[in-house]
Amino acid sequence: MTSKFKYFLGATTAVMIGLSGVAGHADAATLRMAWAQDATGLDPHKQTAFSSLRLLELIYEPLVRLDADLKIVPGIATSWEFSADGKQLTFKLDPKAKFQNGAALTSADVKASFERILDEKTGAANRANYLSIEAIETPDAGTVVFKLKQPDAPILTAMTDTNSSIVPASEIAAGTIGTQAIGSGPFKLEKWDPNSKAALVANKDWAGGATGVDGIEISVLPDETAILAAMRTGQVDFALLNDPLIATLVPKEPKLQLNRAPLLAYHVLQLNPARKPMNELAVRQAISCAVDRQAVLDTASLGEGKVTGPITAPFFASDPNSLFCYKQDVEKAKKLMADAGFADGFSATVIAATGEPPTAAAEAQVLQSQLAEIGVKLDIKMMELNVYVDTWLKGDFDMAVALNGGRPDPYTMYNRYWTKNGNLQKVSNFADDTLDKLLQDGRAETDPEKRKVIFAELDKQLAEKAPWIWLYTGYGYTAQQKNVQGFVPMPTGSLVSLGKATVQQ
C-alpha cells in the first residue's frame, strides 16, 4: 500500500510540475531575472545596500552616469562644464527627460533633489560628498549651475551615484519618496512584493530611447543553488550571483553564460592603529610582509580576482608589485617584529561578518595561519552582519576582515577614512599629514593626468604606512541564458545596461 501511494504521489508531482511549467511560461520579450537579495526600500537617497541600488538604478536616473570604463557619460544631463577656476559646475539637461508620472524633468527638480540630499533631516547617504556646494542656481528649465565653495573635481563622479538620483520636486513636497518609486529611468516599478517578486515595465517615455525588453520580472531566490537550478531549467533568463563557488559552476552548463567583471570593491584586513601593538609602524609593516595576498585570494576565493593595492579604479591604480612588501617576505616580517620589541609575537582578535562576503570566514582563517608564522596569534570572531557593522562603526576591533565598497574616484573612496575630518576617521583610527594633503590636492586638481600622479603617491604611502593590509578585488558575477544580448558588466556591479538588453526568441 505504501509503495503504491508513493508511486501515485510521484506521478501526480510530475504532472503538476509539468503543468505549472506550461502555465508559468512567460513572454519572451520579458526578461526574467533572479537574485538572492532584494532591495530593502525605495528611497534612492537613503538606500545604500548593493541589492537596493541594483533595483533603484533601473527606475531612477542621476545627472550623469558611468560607462563600463568608468568614464562619465550623459544621464539626465547631456553636457556639463567646470568653470576655469573649478568653482562652478554647469549642467545642460536633456529636454526629452520625463518622469514616469508624465511630468517633464526640469532644473527645479534637480535643485529640489540636491536640496533634499543636503538637508540633514533627510538622512541622505551621499550628503557628505556635496558639502562644497554653496548654491544651486536654475537660470532656465534646462540649465543647472552648482556654485562651489572650493574647486571639487570628484563631485562630478559622486553625482553618477544612484544615491544622487533626481526625483520629482512634487513628490518631495508630497513626502512620498520611498513609498512610491517615480523616476525617469528605463523602467517603471509596477509591483513590489519585498523578498518575493518585483515587476518592472518598460518606460515608453524614457529619454534614453526604447528599451530592449517590455519588462523585467524579478524573483528573489534566496538560495543561490536554487538560482542555478532555475537557470538550468530555463525558468530564469538572467541572474545576479555572489558566491564564487556557484558562479564557477555556470560555465559547465552549455546553455548558460557567465559574465565576470572585476569590481572596485576590495577585500582588506583592517588594522586598528589606535590599539597596541598596531600603533607601531614596524608591527603593521611586519603584518603586511607576512601576508601572502595571492594565497589568500586562491584559498578563500578560488583565485577568482586579483591582488590589489589601496586604489582599485583601473585609471588611478598602481601596479601592486611596485608597492611595499607585496611579495610575502617572512624573514623581513620577523625582523620588523623583533625591532619593534615583539620578537615573541602577540595575540589579537579579528572580526568578520558571517556570509558577507561569502568568503569572509575563509579569509580570516588563511590570515590566521599566515600571521601565526610571525607569532601573531589571531582569535577569529564571526558576527552577524548588523552586529559587525555596529562594532566596525565604533572602531571597536583589533583587526577586521572587510569587503569595502570602491569608488571610481580615489578621493570619494578614501577621504572618509584618511582625511583628518573624514566621517569614518573613527573606523580607520589613523590620521596622517601626508595622506591628508595628498587627498586635498587630488580633490582640487582637475587635470586627470596630474591627479593620477597625486593618487599614485597616495597608493604608495598607504601601502607603506600599512594602516590596513589591502588584499584583493573579486568579480561581480551575472549569469544569463545565451539568448540574452546586450548586457554590459560593470566594475561597479551596476545593471544599468539592462535598459538596452534584449531576449532573442
Residues of the shown chain interacting with another protein in the complex, contacts defined by CB under 8 A:
1-2, 5-6, 9, 12-13, 16-21, 23-24, 34, 40-42, 46-49, 120-125, 127-128, 178-179, 193-197, 219-223, 225-226, 228-230, 232-235, 384-387, 389-393, 402, 404-405, 416, 423-424, 426-427
CB-based contacts of 267, cutoff 8 Å, min separation 6 = 296, 301, 305, 357, 359, 363, 401, 402, 403, 471, 472, 473, 474
CB-based contacts of 285, cutoff 8 Å, min separation 6 = 324, 325, 336, 464, 466
Rounded to whole angstroms, how far apart are CA atoms 287 and 285? 5
Q: Toward another protein, which CB reaches closer, 385 or 453?
A: 385
Total Cβ atoms within 10 A of residue 435: 24
What residues are paired with 381 via a beta bridge? 351
CA-nearest of 340, 236, 238, 247 to 286 is 340
Q: Toward another protein, which CB reaches closer, 25 or 327?
A: 25
For residues 366 and 335, the answer to whether their CB atoms sit within 8 Å is no
Among all chains, which residue has been given the C-alpha cell 553618477? 160
Q: Toward another protein, which CB reaches closer, 173 or 393?
A: 393
Cell numbers at 215, concatenated: 519588462
Q: Toward another protein, which CB reaches closer, 116 or 334?
A: 116
Q: Toward another protein, which CB reaches closer, 6 or 327?
A: 6
Q: Toward another protein, which CB reaches closer, 39 or 258?
A: 39
For residues 287 and 376, the answer to whether their CB atoms sit within 8 Å is yes
CA dihedral sign of residues 482, 485, 489, 494: negative
Taking the complex as a whole, how short is the minimal distance between the CB of residue 402 and another protein, in angstroms? 8
Taking the complex as a whole, how short is the minimal distance between the CB of residue 316 and another protein, in angstroms? 22
Q: Toward another protein, which CB reaches closer, 219 or 285?
A: 219
Taking the complex as a whole, how short is the minimal distance between the CB of residue 17 and another protein, in angstroms? 5
Taking the complex as a whole, how short is the minimal distance between the CB of residue 476 and another protein, in angstroms? 17
Rounded to whole angstroms, how far apart are CA atoms 32 and 244? 22
Taking the complex as a whole, how short is the minimal distance between the CB of residue 200 and another protein, in angstroms? 15
Taking the complex as a whole, how short is the minimal distance between the CB of residue 386 and another protein, in angstroms? 3
Taking the complex as a whole, how short is the minimal distance between the CB of residue 399 and another protein, in angstroms? 16
